[in-house]
Structure 1
Amino acid sequence: MAEAGKPLGAYDIAERLSGAGRRVAAVSVYRALDFLTEHDLVHRIASRNAFVPCAHAHGEGAGLVFMICRSCGGIDETTSPEIEDQLGRTLARAGFRPASRILEVEGECEACLQREAAS
């Protein structure tokens, strides 16, 4: 996944791992991805049904934010304790317990914005 430089789905990963006379089953890839996700080594991008390697260590209570570029398809990751704090308060007021607290934001990355401005 790290070599791909882009988010990959389980079937993409299975295809890359398969070789001549050797087919890797998508179910095996999903099991591996579940393990890697559990240990914060990869993240699932729900809006893309794809996975990316974890870019950095996460501190406790730091909200995870993915910035997804609609132009180039790149995904960048950051954390935000401020967002996590506010989200926690909002969810508590609503009496809601989330299974996941990941925010995905779509737009244009800095490189694509610069390319657009230069043209």
Structure 2
Amino acid sequence: MKKLKNFLIVCFMLLVLVLLIANNIGFNFLEWGRGFSTESQNKREEGGTSSLGENLSEKYLSIEIKDHKIFVDQEEVSLGDFKETMESYDPGLFVVKLSSTEAKRITYQEVVTILKELNFSILE
């Protein structure tokens, strides 16, 4: 029984050692179960999606909030015109990159609620 216990401990230590070495050389364990051959990656890329399921045709829309001013792709827009401007964009094609510098809390919250109403994906 003692030999079996020692054998299992040695096997466990070897497994840990192999995993540490593999992690140290850059083997990505998260990609391991997804079929990491180059053929399957090429098929996914040709199909228009990456391995994480992201759409390669997505475009990013930059929205920056400074004080009470809102900039959509570096064009200043008032809060009243912001909703009309955002309705002209398709939420399925655009992912919003939202950044704020010294933004007023009320302006920021209103912008976020408008974007959520229009079903935009938001990256902060």
TM-score, structure 2 normalization: 0.20
Give the helix-richer structure, 1 or 2: 2
TM-score, structure 1 normalization: 0.20
> Greater RCO between the two (CA within 8 Å, min separation 6)?
1
